[in-house]
Amino acid sequence: MEIIFFICLAIAAVISLVYGIILMIKAFQVSIWWGLGYLFIPFVQLIFIVVHWQIAKDPFLKSLIAIPFIIIAMLLLPEGTFDQ
């Protein structure tokens, strides 16, 4: 079960990374300021997605594919992970 846990977690990480990079590229395509804000200022990513929904809609919605993999990974979390 631990192998499936790590596989699901890795798949979710790759999906999030790929679509996060795509969204960052879209922000830089809009303007250099949106791109730099996307990189360095907290919550600018969310503002960019809301303000430029037509541009960011496709990669943002595709990035949500990672959520089921995260949920499956958390359900398969190895026992004793949070024991002290």
- Contact indicator for 1, 69 with CB cutoff of 8 Å: no
- At which residue do the structure tokens 């809009």 appear? 30
Residues 6+ apart with CB under 8 A from 78: 1, 2, 5
Query: Which pLDDT tens digit goes with each residue over 34-76?
Result: 999 999 999 999 999 999 999 999 999 999 999 999 999 999 8
Report whether pLDDT(20) > 70.
Answer: yes
